[in-house]
Amino acid sequence: MFFVKIKQKGENMTITIREKLEKREEQYLSEFATKSALSKGRKLPEEQSEFRTDFQRDRDRILHSKAFRRLKHKTQVFLSPFDDHFRTRLTHTLEVSQIARTISRSLDLNEDLTEAIALGHDLGHTPFGHCGEGVLDELLPGGFHHNLQSVRVVEVLEHLNLCQETIDGIKTHTWGYEPTTLEGKAVQLADKIAYINHDIEDSIRAGVISESDLPKDCIDFFSSNQSKRLNKMISEIVYNSQGKADVAMSEEGWAYTTKLRKWMFENVYIDSPAKLEENKARNVIRELFFLYKNMLKDVCPEDKAERIVTDYISGMTDRYAIERFKRNFIPEGFQNGTKDDYLFRLANLEMK
């Protein structure tokens, strides 16, 4: 085991790098921050790392998970966009992480815990964004919610054995839940700030809205420039939360943020050109659900089959769900030989 020497209260001490990092947290983080050394721990006890704190290990486990990699091909707002500059669920997650870390760093909170929560908050999201979530919510008895599915991913499907604080933050990143840590509150706010701003940019790029359409009072308060608008929203949180046992935006800032969010729902998220393909996407999810459920009818009880199918479909990327639908519901012509036979026939003609 690797040890480092430090001096504390005039005495030389030999400790691990992890212990050094934990002491640094105790020394420099806010009294309201969540200290990794005081974590409530994991469901299954583990030997601690020599080099990393528990929250750093959580972040790394999420980053290396299969569910995290699949986020790159899951819809944010625009279904399976061909333009590489539109956000996906992965780029959304990275933007949430960046904003949440900025908030945490400014308030001397635990940036490692914040990053772990942010990177894991959407692991359970369905293909085709919230329309996919809506279909599974209708079909699964008891309903489906992506935040609870994200917890299921890390606890059951990938067995990441994360700390309780990380799991709590993932579960409570959506409205209607109250995070138990300030780091969780930072992610909850960062999630909203991120999607409001990047969805505005994507919607303008797609021609769904124009900058002049945005509510004038909101733009006067935040700015029409995306970078300045993001900075203003973050500032409204940091200045309002300094030295407090809470992370919250100022009352005025929150009023304009919620107004802008409501405007986006009315003009982009619901019944806009961005949603024209959603009925097709819903049909893909619905047909796959009943197909796979029927496949399992002789294998396990109906309630277990529905749970298994939900786990399977919710983990799919957009393109994989479409490929499975095509494979099972779209007839293919009879194929004889390789698809590239004509290429070689042309080569033979040229060589004669």
Give the tens place of pLDDT for each residue, 255-307. 999 999 999 999 998 877 777 789 999 999 999 999 999 999 999 999 999 99
| pLDDT level of residue 3 (50, 70, 90 thresholds) | low
Q: What is the pLDDT of residue 335?
A: 64
Q: What is the pLDDT of residue 275?
A: 76
What number is the average pLDDT over the span 333-347?
62
Q: What is the pLDDT of residue 173?
A: 98
Q: What is the pLDDT of residue 340?
A: 60
- Kindly give the pairing relationship between strand 4-8 and strand 11-15: antiparallel
Write down the pTM of the prediction. 0.91
| pLDDT level of residue 253 (50, 70, 90 thresholds) | very high
Q: What is the pLDDT of residue 196?
A: 96
Q: What is the pLDDT of residue 276?
A: 79
**Average pLDDT in the chain:** 92
Of 11-25, 95-109, 198-212, 299-313, least confident by mean pLDDT is: 11-25
Tell me which amino acid residue 291 is. Answer: L
Q: Which long-range contacts (CB under 8 A, 24 or more apart) does 18-22 make?
A: 18/48, 18/49, 18/50, 18/51, 18/52, 18/53, 21/52, 21/53, 21/56, 22/53
User: Would the pLDDT of 61 be above 80?
Assistant: yes
pLDDT above 70: percentage of residues in the chain? 90
Q: What is the pLDDT of residue 45?
A: 94
pLDDT tens for residues 96-151? 999 999 999 999 999 999 999 999 999 999 999 999 999 999 999 999 999 999 99
| pLDDT level of residue 14 (50, 70, 90 thresholds) | confident
pLDDT above 90: percentage of residues in the chain? 82
* Domains, the chain, with CATH or none: 55-278 (1.10.3210.10), 279-331 (no CATH)
**DSSP annotation string for 55-88:** HHHHHHHHHTSHHHHHGGGSBSSSSS-SSTTS-B
Of 26-40, 76-90, 256-270, 311-325, least confident by mean pLDDT is: 76-90
User: Would the pLDDT of 346 be above 70?
Assistant: no
Q: What is the pLDDT of residue 71?
A: 97
CB 131 within 8 A of CB 282: yes
**DSSP annotation string for 46-63:** -PPPSSS-HHHHHHHHHH
Scored b (16 or more CB within 10 A) or e, 42-80 reads beeeeeeeeebbbbbbbbebbeebebbebbebbbbbbbb
Of 3-7, 22-26, 36-40, 119-123, least confident by mean pLDDT is: 3-7
> Burial level of 85, CB count in 10 A (0-12/13-18/19+)?
exposed
